[in-house]
């Protein structure tokens, strides 16, 4: 690659508006996923135990290789009796079992899972997956590794120390308690309109929020979705639940980057066209339907995975046959944190930055 000679790129008088160039919607049909599962299962057992493929969009490039620019999706298979070697990385994950079951050990916690269960992995927690059943285990994993790779900060550790071996540096602890290491002026307001100053030791020691792995068993989630469905016409909103991880606070996430929602769409329900800067992908596991994305009509059915709403693409979804159940992943919490979650719920009305402006009721 030729390197740029000057750091200056003249933009004088030039528009900074970007032409819309979203990745188009993309469906990976059940048949293709099944063939890949079969191929992975037929490979000789790899050293790290991970029978795994990334599921990348045709437009995806290195670094990243996501199904959306900031979302990596991988398909993982474990045969009965197999386990993956311990691993950790700086990405946070949403894990989703689409076939079989087993358990995961993450940060010293054991999570027993079955088909359609969801669980999250905090960043840099050591984990391994185990198949202690006599069926094939198949998982989808959604992570922000694509984004971290583009930032050049994806750090993965194929041979991490076990949880107990890791001990905090003693010298650091001493610094924390030495009164001379503390700026006596603390954090204080500088100007009347609310600009503040913060000392270094506070800057590098932010308030910690414990990040834990949580498990959302499908059996239990479905019970609550069914209760929403049973409300019939008394409830005009969407029949969905966010699999909420309380550590994400006001950004309403399952991980600091993504939300995962479980949705039930009764047959015949069509949502209104809308758009948002967060990218959305759906895995359907019941029913059949179609989406219109930037004017393109895309059909889908149970067992398909789809980039259903590329960031800022106008879209709507329609359930056409049978009750649709779907897991949706969106990089919405990240966009709320970045103050970039531009959302237009009604295309005749102006867009709003959600998280710093009021949101919406429902779009059903
Ligand atoms: Fe949407």
Which tokens hold the place of 82? 């197999």
pLDDT category at 233 given cuts 50, 70, 90 is: confident
The Å distance, Cα 274 to ligand 1 centre, comes to: 6
pLDDT at 163: 61
The Å distance, Cα 309 to ligand 1 centre, comes to: 6
C-alpha to C-alpha distance for 220 and 286, rounded to whole angstroms: 17
Question: At 241, phi and psi to the nearest 5?
Answer: -125, 135
- Contact predicate 263/325, CB 8 Å: yes
pLDDT over 60 at 167, yes or no: no
pLDDT at 262: 98
- Contact predicate 344/313, CB 8 Å: no
Query: pLDDT tens digits for 348-364?
Result: 999 999 988 887 766 55
Residues 6+ apart with CB under 8 A from 140: 55, 73, 74, 75, 76, 95, 96, 98, 283, 305
∠ CA 129-135-137, rounded to 5°:
35
pLDDT over 70 at 112, yes or no: yes
Of residues 3 and 125, which shows the higher confidence score? Answer: 125
76 is in which domain, residue-wise? Answer: 26-159+212-353
pLDDT at 161: 87
The Å distance, Cα 82 to ligand 1 centre, comes to: 38
The Å distance, Cα 364 to ligand 1 centre, comes to: 11
C-alpha to C-alpha distance for 308 and 329, rounded to whole angstroms: 10
> Is residue 88 domain-resident?
yes
The stretch 121-143 carries a mean pLDDT of: 98
- Contact predicate 112/204, CB 8 Å: no
> Is residue 9 domain-resident?
no
CATH number of the domain to which 305 belongs:
2.60.120.10
Percent of the chain's residues with pLDDT above 90: 85
Which tokens hold the place of 247? 């550590």
The Å distance, Cα 315 to ligand 1 centre, comes to: 7
Average pLDDT in the chain? 94
The Å distance, Cα 124 to ligand 1 centre, comes to: 31
pLDDT over 90 at 191, yes or no: yes
The stretch 112-128 carries a mean pLDDT of: 98
The Å distance, Cα 363 to ligand 1 centre, comes to: 9
The Å distance, Cα 190 to ligand 1 centre, comes to: 41
pLDDT over 90 at 130, yes or no: yes
> Is residue 11 domain-resident?
no
| CA dihedral of 326, 293, 306, 222, whole degrees rounded to 10 | 0
Which tokens hold the place of 307? 């980039």
C-alpha to C-alpha distance for 103 and 270, rounded to whole angstroms: 37
∠ CA 144-163-173, rounded to 5°:
95
The Å distance, Cα 206 to ligand 1 centre, comes to: 33
> Is residue 265 domain-resident?
yes
> Is residue 274 domain-resident?
yes
C-alpha to C-alpha distance for 58 and 310, rounded to whole angstroms: 13
Query: pLDDT tens digits for 13-44?
Result: 999 998 888 999 999 999 999 999 999 999 99
Residues with CB under 5 A from ligand 1 (ion): 309
The Å distance, Cα 311 to ligand 1 centre, comes to: 9
The Å distance, Cα 313 to ligand 1 centre, comes to: 9
The Å distance, Cα 310 to ligand 1 centre, comes to: 9
Which tokens hold the place of 251? 């950004």
> Is residue 194 domain-resident?
no
Q: What are 54's strand-pairing partners?
A: 74
pLDDT at 238: 87
The Å distance, Cα 241 to ligand 1 centre, comes to: 15
The Å distance, Cα 123 to ligand 1 centre, comes to: 27
Of residues 121 and 236, which shows the higher confidence score? Answer: 121
Question: At 42, phi and psi to the nearest 5?
Answer: -85, -10
State how many domains the chain has: 1
DSSP state letter for 256 = S
Query: Is 166 exposed, middle or buried (CB count within 10 Å of its CB: 0-12, 13-18, 19+)?
Result: exposed
The Å distance, Cα 113 to ligand 1 centre, comes to: 28
DSSP state letter for 160 = P
Query: Is 243 exposed, middle or buried (CB count within 10 Å of its CB: 0-12, 13-18, 19+)?
Result: buried
Of residues 306 and 358, which shows the higher confidence score? Answer: 306
The Å distance, Cα 101 to ligand 1 centre, comes to: 30
C-alpha to C-alpha distance for 358 and 362, rounded to whole angstroms: 13
C-alpha to C-alpha distance for 76 and 88, rounded to whole angstroms: 16
C-alpha to C-alpha distance for 315 and 347, rounded to whole angstroms: 11
Query: What distance lies between CA 264 and its chain's CA centroid?
Result: 19
Residues 6+ apart with CB under 8 A from 320: 267, 268, 287, 288, 289, 290
> Is residue 16 domain-resident?
no
The Å distance, Cα 52 to ligand 1 centre, comes to: 29
> Is residue 202 domain-resident?
no
């Amino acid at each position: 690659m030729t390197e740029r000679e000057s750091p200056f790129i003249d933009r004088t008088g030039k528009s900074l508006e970007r032409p819309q160039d979203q990745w188009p919607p993309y469906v990976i049909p059940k048949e293709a996923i099944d063939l890949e599962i079969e191929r992975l299962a037929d490979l000789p057992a790899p050293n790290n135990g991970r029978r795994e493929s990334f599921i990348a969009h045709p437009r995806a490039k290195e670094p990243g290789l996501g199904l959306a620019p900031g979302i990596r999706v991988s398909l993982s298979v474990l045969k009965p009796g197999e386990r993956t070697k311990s691993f950790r990385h700086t990405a946070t994950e949403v894990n989703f079992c689409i076939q079989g079951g087993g358990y995961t050990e993450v940060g010293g916690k054991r999570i027993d899972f079955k088909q359609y269960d969801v669980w999250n992995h905090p960043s840099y927690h050591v984990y391994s997956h185990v198949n202690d059943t006599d069926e094939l285990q198949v998982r989808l994993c959604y992570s922000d590794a694509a984004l971290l790779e583009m930032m050049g900060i994806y750090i993965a550790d194929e041979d991490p120390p076990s949880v107990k071996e890791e001990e905090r540096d003693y010298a650091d602890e001493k610094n924390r308690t030495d009164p001379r290491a503390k700026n006596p002026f603390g954090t204080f307001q500088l100007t009347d309109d609310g600009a503040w100053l913060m000392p270094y030791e506070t800057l590098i020691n932010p308030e910690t929020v414990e990040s834990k792995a949580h498990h959302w068993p499908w059996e239990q989630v479905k019970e609550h979705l069914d209760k929403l469905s049973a409300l019939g016409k008394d409830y005009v909103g969407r029949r969905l639940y966010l699999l909420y991880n309380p550590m994400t606070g006001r950004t309403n996430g399952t991980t600091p980057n993504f939300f995962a929602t479980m949705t039930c769409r009764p047959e015949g329900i069509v949502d209104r066209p809308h758009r948002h800067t967060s990218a959305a992908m759906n895995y359907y596991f019941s029913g059949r339907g179609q989406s219109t994305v930037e004017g393109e009509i895309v059909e889908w059915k149970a067992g398909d995975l789809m980039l259903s709403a590329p960031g800022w693409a106008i879209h709507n979804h329609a359930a056409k046959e049978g009750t649709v159940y779907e897991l949706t992943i969106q990089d919405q919490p990240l966009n709320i944190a970045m103050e970039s979650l531009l959302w237009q719920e009604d295309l005749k009305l102006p867009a709003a930055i959600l998280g710093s402006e009021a949101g919406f009721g429902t779009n059903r």
